[in-house]
Structures are given as C-alpha cells and as structure tokens.
Structure 1
Amino acid sequence: MSRDGQERPARADVVASLDAVIDRTLRDSELVHEHPTPGRWLVDLPGTKKLKTVCGLIVGEHALRVEAFVCRQPDENREQLWTYLLQHNARMYGVAYSVDRVGDVYLTGRLPHAAVTPEELDRVLGAVLSYADDHFNTMLEIGFGTSIRREWEWRVKRGESLRNLEAFAAFAQAGSRRDDGDGGGAPAGGGDSPDGGA
C-alpha cells in the first residue's frame, strides 16, 4: 500500500500472468468484457432483476480488486438499507456490500494473486452477479419506495405502460391501498414487507 492508502500496481510480469488467467476465464464463460489497459478489466454480468452489472477487475500489487456498482445512493431509509446490506455481508462469499463517500452501493472484494484461478474467478463473478441481482428489487423498495409508488400511481392515472415496473406491482399497490385509508394493514394475501424481513 502507498501512503495515501491506494494499492500500488503489480509488477509487469505479475500483471501479464493474471491477465492471461482472466482473459481465458472470461472467454470460456463467454462474458462480454473490455480490457482497456494491462491489469484492468470491465466485465458485463447479465441479470434478471438488475439487467446488467458491470464488474471491474483491477490487478494490484498484492491482490486482484473486484468492484461492481449496484445502485446509487438511496433517496430515503438509508439506515434501514445499510442494516439490510450489513446483515447479508456476514453470509456472503468473496465480496461484500460497501458504500462510497456519497452513499452509492457497491460490491467489493480482494483476491490474493495466488487465488486467481479460473475456478475461483468464475465463483467470485457468480457471487457478484447473485448478490447484485437477487437483492436488487428489495434494495430499491427500501431506498426508493416513495419514488416507485409515485411513478406507479402517475402511470396508472395516465394509462401509461407499467411493464418495466411489474416487479414492484404488489409493493406499489400495497402502498396505494394504505394511502386510500384501508387501515394500513398488509394487502390481502399478506405480501412480504418492503425490507425483505430485515
């Protein structure tokens, strides 16, 4: 590590060796990727709830840094979202949720050079995709619930398409029923709470 806390770049021979492993792994997995400079990779991980997660792989002096943007800083319920993410961190493999200075959410991790094998890299990229995708809708409901419900109601009133909001139908409709004065109870059928039970 340098004095400013940034990891120094690896030696050229180490970069070349790890780049060869990364290149082979990504090609074998048929993942879309970019390799802008030696030791730096951008990998597109296709999902279902979050359509694409871009994962950066950076070869440092002692480790391969893994970093993927998950979502921007929440509009509301920041502490509730941080609690939700921290509760998941204890059970995660290879990466953990983190936030930057402005509150944007990332998945970050480090692999020692000796651990960078095709099998381990595939496992870590799979973990990044799973954690970014599996919890994405719940994270949006916690951090952007008011905006989601407002957008849903606006589209319903105007007869606009709800197609790209279909995943939030139960959440949005439960909110509008509470707003209509139904006593604030859960919708019929007892849907999950927006925080996923965290």
Structure 2
Amino acid sequence: MTTTTSAGAGVAGRISETERAFLDEVITKALDDLELTYEHPGTGSFLVTLEGEHKLRTMTWLVVQDHTLLIEAFFMRKPAENVAGTYGFLLSRNAKTYGVHFSIDRIGDIFLTGQVPLTAVNADEIDRLLGCTRTYADENFDPAIALGFAQAIAREKAWRAKVAAEARAARLTQQ
C-alpha cells in the first residue's frame, strides 16, 4: 500500500487515508454486527470490551497501522510472586494460539498482542481475532492469577472466612 504525497509521488509502506478509512468502515461494521461494545477514538483505532466468565472484561485495542492491524489486550498486572512460573505457564500457551500471544511490557505486566497484515482484515478475521483474544484471556486468567498471586488469594480467603465467622457469631448472640 502506498500514500500519495502532495507532490503526487507514492511513499512506499504507508497506508493512504482512503485505505485507512475503508478499513475503519470494515472494522466498524464487523464490531456492530458482533454487537460488541467499543469506543472509536479516531480513524483506525478501536477499544473493544470483550466480556468473559473468569476474566470479566478484556479491554482490547484494534489499531490500523501502516502494514498491519495491531491487536493488544491487557491481561493482568505483573505477578507479585512466582513470576517465572507465571510467565512460563503463559509462554507455554503461545505454541497453541492464533493471532495473538502472551507478552510482557517493560514493567512486567502481561498482555495478549498480535498483528495481522492489512490484506487479511475482514469481518471474519476480526471475529476470529477477538474470539481468540477473549478465549485465551478467559481460559488462562484463573490459573495465571493463582500462580502469580497465591499469597494474596490466601489472605483474601482467610479474611472472608473471619468476617463470615464474626457475622455468624454476632447473629447467634442476638438470638
């Protein structure tokens, strides 16, 4: 794809505004047809909300770049413990993923990221990519949290048990 400069010469590797607008329409129609909630802050940029059962919401960016469609979804914060075990668990999942894979940023937070060529962008591919993102986030969230935040989960369970016991005791003394 090329962009024409004001002098009329094409610049290799840059998507034209016409092509960007066309892809924007394709993505908008696909998201509307899928009945997904999304924000559209600018041409070629979409923030899609994917609803799940374990990971209740996965906020996913779709961004039209010069050569590819970027898919990026926040998965979870950097693990508080068992960092290598958590990253290893998710890295082992990458061998079986389509379109997106687990990755980390410079501070260790975990994302699902991917890129597909702009020539592959159509309604079916948008559906497939978002479906994979939702599935990978939802299926791997509980095990990843259990690995990376086991002590925090144990403290939360102990606190909830204590509060429940205190509430039971208070009800018994009122009777």
Is this a same-fold pair by TM over 0.5? yes
1:77 to 74, 82, 89: 82
How far apart, in 1, do the equivalents of 2:138 and 2:37 lie? Answer: 17
- Equivalent in 124, 140, 150 of residue 145 of structure 1: 150
Q: 2:28 aligns with which of 16, 23, 29?
A: 23
Which residue of 1 is the match for residue 169 of structure 2?
none
Shift, 1:9, TM fit: 6.9
Indicate yes or no: 2:112 matched with 1:104: no
Partner AA of 1:103 in structure 2: G
Q: Find the counterpart in structure 2 of residue 43 from structure 1.
A: 48
Unaligned runs of 5+ in 2: 1-12, 166-175
Query: Secondary structure of the residue that 2:96 maps to in structure 1?
Result: coil
Scaled by the length of structure 2, what TM-score is found?
Answer: 0.85
**C-alpha separation between the residues in 2 aligned to 1:133 and 1:29?**
18
Q: What TM-score comes out, normalization by structure 1 length? A: 0.75
Residue 86 of structure 1: which of 85, 91, 112 is its match?
Answer: 91
Residue identity (%):
43
Question: Which residue number corresponds to residue 10 of structure 2?
Answer: none
**1:126 aligned residue:** 131
Q: Count residues in correspondence.
A: 153
Relative to structure 1, the CA distance from residue 65 to residue 142 in structure 2 (aligned partners, 3 Å threshold; closer, same or farther) is same
* Cα 1:136/1:9, change in 2 over 3 Å: farther
Larger strand proportion of the pair: 2
Partner of 1:61: 66
Q: Secondary structure at the match of 2:23?
A: helix
Structure 1 residue ranges (4+ consecutive) displaced by more than 3 angstroms after TM superposition:
none
